[in-house]
Amino acid sequence: MAHLHPTGLPHRSLVMRLIPTPYGGTLVEAILAQNQAKRLLEQQNEFLKIKPPIEQIYDAEKIALGAYSPLQGFMDEEDYTRVLNRNELKKGLVWTIPIVLTPKGDTKELKPGDEALLLDLFDQPFALLKLEQKFKIDKGEFAEKVYATRDTNHPNVAELSEYGETALSGKVELLRALPNQHGGVELTPRETREYFQKMGWKNVAAYQARNPPHKAHEYIQRLTLERDDVDALFIHPIVGKLKKGDYKPEVIMEAYKVFVEKYYPKNRVLLSALSIAMRYAGPKAVLFYAIIRRNYGCSHYIVGRDQAGVGSYYDPYAAHAIFDKYDVGVVPLRYQETFYCRVCEGMVSSKVCPHPESERVSTSQTKIRELLQQGKPLPKEILRQEVIQILERGDVLIK
Ligand SMILES: [Zn+2]
């Protein structure tokens, strides 16, 4: 593909401009042509229909768009079992989160070889499943091995109660994109890859978010943008199914849009939503998120303290350590916990600030949400005025 230099070697400047290949080598894209999709919709009454749990609706779309490359469909029993027990796919690639289709209710009439339509949140068909295999899953084992707990206070363990006992594996083809429920821009892996190429970005660092930006996030983003080995920052908030008490997706996207436009150079930052369900699986989720970002074209992945954690189920720095054990072809950029120091008069971490705890203002989201719920003013040391204005409008959290 690369142009050859007279020496016979690929021309250096062209090679340098390549962004990372998708995970597994090829970007999966299974989007039906418009006339095919139209024909299927006209014949929809002839198909069996499946309503997956919300997170699996998002998964079906992301499989077809290539966000989960090399997965071409929902996992079969062998992949599922390998992921649970060995953190790998049967192809040998590292993979930590099972991607299964487990609709609740009777699936007896579905047989391998059948084609079925998947329904979206509004019960409208959006994807075609070519059923290959049916197998039983043990939800207790799923919880234990993926989330390291069976405690139903864990939001993802709780949602297993909405799963059926039978998993349906098979390839997925997309009839149409899901309705946008966050109001922001959401680019596909193909689109971000094309954008990175157009901008001449080779090394793009992905920033995973699930909250409106505060100054600790900003500090880490700016440290990343200062690096010589990073061309640009891709801010990619997860805005699919979140949990009660999280910020609403539209609030996260609006706050980030205002913030990015006002404070960052346009030619070095891209913002786009990622509508998938949060997996609060600590280190396992972080590896999964890094793989997804590689599929969107990123070479680097920012890992803060306790990313994808919830409660105290995971060691806050296990998300850093897992990159030493598993290589998914993405360079982790690991950052310590950061806070505002009144003596340093800025955002710092304990790596650069010697002052006692009493001088530090925590940037904990829990504290910000508490202040919001009590109707108290939000601290200017840790939030930009533009973001404060959006949050103080009220009704910004999921009830
Ligand atoms: Zn200090």
Residues for the chain: how many in total? Answer: 399
Shared-domain flag, residues 202 and 315: yes
pLDDT at 137 over 50: yes
Which of 288, 304, 335 corresponds to the end of one domain? Answer: 335
Rounded mean pLDDT, 374-387? 91
pLDDT digits (tens, 9 = 90+) for 189-212: 999 999 999 999 999 999 999 999
Contact 41, 125 (CB under 8 A): yes
Shared-domain flag, residues 170 and 193: no
Task: Give the pLDDT band (50/70/90) at residue 12.
Answer: very low
Q: Which residue has the higher pLDDT, 97 or 282?
A: 97
Which of 174, 198, 232 corresponds to the end of one domain? Answer: 174
**DSSP helix/strand/coil, 292:** helix
381 lies in some domain: no
The Cα–Cα gap between 340 and 178 comes to: 40
Number of continuous H segments (helices) and E segments (strands) in the chain:
13, 13
Task: Give the pLDDT band (50/70/90) at residue 17.
Answer: low
Shared-domain flag, residues 46 and 115: yes
pLDDT digits (tens, 9 = 90+) for 276-299: 999 998 899 999 999 999 999 999
The Cα–Cα gap between 182 and 121 comes to: 14
Domain that holds residue 143: 34-174
246 lies in some domain: yes
The Cα–Cα gap between 392 and 399 comes to: 16
Rounded mean pLDDT, 153-160? 91
Q: Which residue has the higher pLDDT, 367 or 46?
A: 46
Shared-domain flag, residues 150 and 287: no
CA atoms within 13 A on the CB side of 379: 19
pLDDT at 142 over 70: yes
pLDDT digits (tens, 9 = 90+) for 35-86: 999 999 999 999 999 999 999 999 999 999 999 999 999 999 999 999 999 9
- Choose, from 190, 211, 305, 334, the residue flagged as catalytic: 211
**DSSP helix/strand/coil, 170:** strand
What is the 215 CA–ligand 1 centroid distance (Å)?
Answer: 15
* CA-to-CA separations, 379 to 256, 262, 367, 384, 388, in angstroms, rounded: 18, 19, 10, 9, 9
- Would you state the structure tokens that stand for residue 358, as one six-digit string? 């009493």
Backbone phi, psi, residue 330, to 5°: -130, 135
What is the 336 CA–ligand 1 centroid distance (Å)?
Answer: 15
pLDDT digits (tens, 9 = 90+) for 19-38: 999 999 999 999 999 999 99
Task: Give the pLDDT band (50/70/90) at residue 15.
Answer: very low
- Choose, from 210, 293, 294, 384, the residue flagged as catalytic: 210
Rounded mean pLDDT, 6-29? 72
The Cα–Cα gap between 31 and 288 comes to: 23
Sign of CA dihedral 95, 322, 365, 392: negative
pTM to 2 decimal places: 0.93
Shared-domain flag, residues 258 and 144: no
Contact 288, 279 (CB under 8 A): yes
What is the 353 CA–ligand 1 centroid distance (Å)?
Answer: 4
pLDDT digits (tens, 9 = 90+) for 307-327: 777 777 878 888 999 999 999
The Cα–Cα gap between 313 and 320 comes to: 15
In CATH, what number is assigned to the domain containing residue 207?
A: 3.40.50.620
In this structure, the number of other CB atoms found within 10 A of the CB of residue 61 comes to 23
* Alpha helices (H) along the chain: 12-16, 34-42, 54-65, 77-86, 139-147, 155-159, 189-199, 215-225, 249-263, 283-295, 318-325, 365-373, 385-391
- Would you state the structure tokens that stand for residue 152, as one six-digit string? 């139903």
Shared-domain flag, residues 168 and 198: no
Which of 174, 205, 227 corresponds to the end of one domain? Answer: 174
Q: Which element (helix H / strand E) includes 229?
A: none
**DSSP helix/strand/coil, 191:** helix
Shared-domain flag, residues 138 and 217: no
In CATH, what number is assigned to the domain containing residue 109?
A: 3.10.400.10
Q: Which residue has the higher pLDDT, 399 or 185?
A: 185
Q: For 238, which DSSP code? A: B
pLDDT digits (tens, 9 = 90+) for 221-242: 999 999 999 999 999 999 987 7
Q: Give the pLDDT score at 311.
A: 75
The Cα–Cα gap between 300 and 293 comes to: 8
356 lies in some domain: no
What is the 226 CA–ligand 1 centroid distance (Å)?
Answer: 21
250 lies in some domain: yes
Shared-domain flag, residues 136 and 269: no
Active-site annotation holds for 39: no
- Would you state the structure tokens that stand for residue 122, as one six-digit string? 């509004």
What is the 367 CA–ligand 1 centroid distance (Å)?
Answer: 20
16 lies in some domain: no
In this structure, the number of other CB atoms found within 10 A of the CB of residue 229 comes to 12
pLDDT digits (tens, 9 = 90+) for 328-365: 999 999 999 999 999 999 999 999 999 999 999 888 88
What is the 18 CA–ligand 1 centroid distance (Å)?
Answer: 41
What is the 354 CA–ligand 1 centroid distance (Å)?
Answer: 6
123 lies in some domain: yes
Shared-domain flag, residues 194 and 322: yes
pLDDT at 8 over 80: no
Q: Which element (helix H / strand E) includes 135?
A: strand 125-136
The Cα–Cα gap between 38 and 352 comes to: 59
Rounded mean pLDDT, 366-389? 89
> How many structural domains does the chain have?
2
135 lies in some domain: yes
Shared-domain flag, residues 64 and 102: yes
71 lies in some domain: yes
What is the 304 CA–ligand 1 centroid distance (Å)?
Answer: 20
Shared-domain flag, residues 266 and 324: yes
pLDDT at 129 over 50: yes
Active-site annotation holds for 211: yes
Q: Give the pLDDT score at 27.
A: 97
**DSSP helix/strand/coil, 313:** coil
Shared-domain flag, residues 222 and 158: no
